[in-house]
């Protein structure tokens, strides 16, 4: 995908791998919709993009722990732009962000499930009309190799909670959604894929977890950019990648009944109709 003249939304793009990806897409000529919570970090990125002089950057502030904020973000993007060629769902929190104890979102949902999965699920559906109108277009869900099967009797992990399990469950949910959405979008010109960009990148999320980074932001960012713009993945959809290579996710991702149950729960929690 040539980026000149394209409009792209990258959630979680004021820091870490999202910031790297947003800057690269802008340097290739795209209008990049920066998303995050920190206005000052967004300003420094926008200034960097302006200095490089190719693309354009516009900032959208939203706290994706609130589904109402995800709705407002989608509404603002739709109101401001006549096209959306690429949506990279990158915003997320790690297994130890804000501490290791169980927390809930403003809507009462387990926090990692809410931020890492539900907000991206809602945004994707709200932005689909714009993505379809701009086809060929792409959705990239930034997931992880860390995946834990969902216990449908306790999706919100009220029992036996650990941050690691919560994070891994939310990332598997992203992949399950990717497979379902790809089937739904077949023939529309919109593709959707998920990936594990790199292991323990040198990001705030990894450092917050007390983990020594073993990969660079550039390694992970380039893997995301591959799915976002690579010619070799044009037309491919519903796949999971480990870095640059197609890979297999947790077996539950390929369980149609499990995906159907997750979809029903997700539609109910986000208040979407039977999309």
Catalytic residue check, 167: yes
**161, 167, 200, 254: the active-site residue:** 167
Residue 197's closest CA among 75, 21, 30? 21
> What is the rounded CA–CA span in Å between residue 271 and residue 249?
28
DSSP assignment of the chain equals ---TT-EEEETT-SSHHHHHHHHHHHHTT-EEEEEES-HHHHHHHHHHHHHHTSSEEEEEE--TTSHHHHHHHHHHHHHH-S---EEEE-----TTTT-SS--B-TTSSBHHIIIIIIHHHHHHHHHHHHHHHT-SEEEEEE--S------TT-TT--SS--HHHHHHHHHHHHHHHHHHHHHHTTTTTEEEEEEE--SSBSSHHHHHTTPPP-B-HHHHHHHHHHHHH-GGGTT--S-EEETTEEE---GGGG-HHHHHHHHHHHHHHHT----
Catalytic residues: 167
């Amino acid at each position: 995908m040539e980026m000149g003249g394209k409009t792209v939304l990258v959630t979680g793009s004021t820091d870490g791998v999202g910031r790297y990806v947003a800057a690269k897409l802008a340097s290739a000529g795209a209008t990049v919709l920066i998303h995050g919570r920190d206005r000052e970090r967004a300003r420094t990125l926008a200034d960097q993009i302006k200095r490089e002089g190719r693309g354009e950057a516009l900032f959208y502030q939203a706290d994706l722990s609130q589904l109402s904020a995800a709705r407002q973000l989608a509404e603002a993007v739709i109101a401001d732009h006549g096209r959306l060629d690429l949506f990279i769902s990158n915003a997320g929190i790690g297994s130890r962000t804000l501490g290791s104890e169980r927390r809930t979102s403003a809507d009462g949902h387990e926090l990692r499930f809410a931020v890492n999965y539900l907000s991206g699920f809602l945004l994707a559906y709200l932005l689909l009309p714009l993505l379809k109108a701009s086809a060929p277009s792409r959705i990239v869900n930034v997931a992880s190799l860390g995946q834990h099967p969902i216990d449908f009797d306790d999706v919100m992990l009220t029992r036996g909670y650990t941050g690691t399990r919560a994070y891994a469950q939310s990332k598997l949910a992203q992949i399950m959604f990717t497979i379902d959405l790809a089937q739904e979008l077949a023939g529309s010109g919109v593709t959707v894929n998920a990936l594990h960009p790199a292991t323990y990148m040198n990001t705030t999320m990894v450092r917050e977890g007390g983990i020594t980074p073993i990969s660079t932001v550039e390694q992970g960012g380039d893997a995301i950019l591959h799915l976002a713009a690579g010619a070799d993945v044009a037309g491919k959809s519903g796949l999971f990648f480990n870095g640059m290579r197609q890979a297999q996710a947790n077996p539950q991702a390929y369980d149609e009944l499990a995906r159907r149950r997750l979809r029903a729960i997700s539609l109910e929690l986000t208040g979407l109709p039977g999309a």
